[in-house]
Structure 1
């Protein structure tokens, strides 16, 4: 199943995954290498921290809700930004991921101190994530094999979904066959 993991794809937590860091989360894969591991950000975990409290100059460019998102449990003191680039060009210091989504060039070298006016005309939407999700080589494949994750295709609206808390159900609901039924699973499966 390792071939199913790809940059731009989604990892959707199965109801079986009860790790509080990933319970009912949707992860966008940003990097994947069979020998180097996998890196992604959780798309559906908005925090209570307003972007203006941490990065006030970027607030005007952030797509609602205007808060930092919890990108994952790794390096939560670092920031990563994702943006939709409608023009098809790569803004300075960013690299294209897939279908019009760009990410800051490298984790740890993010320059969110740069003037946001430089990017204002080049991006349509943006979200800022604190931390990221990471797996060593083979770790994610093992978790998929244990039934912890579904690997599905992403759609353009997933990264900037208007109601992030509903993204898990929305992604599952649009799948074919039995996987769509998982969207109806109650928050507490023992209550079923």
Structure 2
């Protein structure tokens, strides 16, 4: 369901109007926080060139790391659905959380009790100051949709944006098949 009111747990779908934006073109962002001081979220479909093992050498499993956004890209963040294992987390909605005790994560990944479909890691985050996201919504940079949380950790990052645009239908479905650089068409 499309909404103009962003809230924690919603998905932001990049509109066709920002197809040339290097940071946000064809992205789907999970909003992990939205309040009067601003918003925070993570891009779900931009795989980085790093693996978790490269960034956290004490981890023995090779898990993917995504680009969460252009802010603080030297920091590692994560969302997960295992609060019973990862303590000190903040609930996003419907059994999904962000943050938590990193040492607990390292231990449980190495023991095999945390699987890649339980958790997703990000370098950086997407952030907006107070009212900035609302202003971007007014100029049609984003579509806000409710998140059912069913497949956000299992979704195919290569087709997530396209799949969401097709599901929205109408002119959005047309943009789903647009070339990456319309000027070269």
For 2:114 and 2:182, how far apart are their aligned partners in 1?
44
What is the rounded CA distance, in whole Å, between the counterparts of 2:119 and 2:31 in structure 1?
17
Runs of 4+ in 1 over 4 A off after TM superposition: 118-124
Unpaired runs of at least 5, structure 1: 106-110
Identify unmatched segments of 5+ residues in structure 2.
Answer: none
Contact kept in structure 2, 1:81 and 1:126, CA below 8 Å: yes
Give TM-score scaled by structure 1 length.
Answer: 0.80
Match of 1:21 among 23, 26, 47: 23
> What TM-score, normalized by structure 2, do the two folds share?
0.83
Find the counterpart in structure 1 of residue 74 from structure 2.
77
Residue pair 1:44, 1:167 contacting (<8 A) in 2 also: yes
- Structure 1 partner of 2:160: 167
Q: Distance in 2 between matches of 1:57 and 1:19?
A: 36
| Partners of 1:67 and 1:137 in 2: CA distance | 32
Cα separation, 2, equivalents of 1:144 and 1:59: 42
Once the two structures are superposed, residues 40-83 of structure 1 have per-residue CA deviations (whole angstroms, 9 ceiling, x without a partner) of 011111111111111244464x7xxx221110011111111111
**Mean Cα displacement is larger for which, 117-126 or 71-80?**
117-126
Give distance in 1, aligned partners of 2:8 and 2:43. Answer: 14
1:158 CA displacement: 4.4
CA–CA separation in structure 1 for the residues paired with 2:78 and 2:131? 26
